[in-house]
Amino acid sequence: MQFHREKEGNSLSISSALSKKTITDQATWTRIIVKTAKALAHVHNMGFLHNDLKSNNVVLDKKGGSYEPVIDFGKCVPIRGARGPKVFLDERKKCYTRDFPHIALEIVQGIQGESVASDIFGFAEIAETIFKKSELGRPPHVVLHALNAHPSQRPVLDEIVKSLS
């Protein structure tokens, strides 16, 4: 991401766009959410997990009149190389839950390791943040469903894209 800094106003992170209120209409945000889901699906189809999907790890590259999401791959690993469950002390679990809401609950609780489902949780956290901070109203049901505490209950990205498109 350090090579994709804001240049001449052509790119900024989702987090930055929300705080600066650069984008205000629901149609543009919906397209960004859908394009981000498609990009993540492509990452998964290529055999990788992102492992750190959050609003400041997605840069919006302005091309013409639209924004294209570009995802940071700093913590990306092959799906086959996914790390198993971590064991955190209760105090650290509280800290992670508070400070890193994009990390799936099953990872923080040490129930399960990194997975496609944990990436979907991170994506849904971005989408929910967009709806809340851009004052677009309540996130769609499919986004809320993707935040489910049980990874097996989360929809797959194709379902999310279909529902939002």
Q: What does pLDDT average to over the chain?
A: 86
Query: pLDDT tens digits, residue range 120-162?
Result: 999 999 999 999 999 888 999 999 999 999 999 999 999 999 9
The per-residue pLDDT for 28 is: 93
Least confident of 33-37, 44-48, 51-55: 51-55
Q: How does residue 6 score in pLDDT terms, banded at 50, 70 and 90?
A: very low
How many whole angstroms separate alpha carbon 108 and alpha carbon 96?
7
Average pLDDT (36-46) is 94
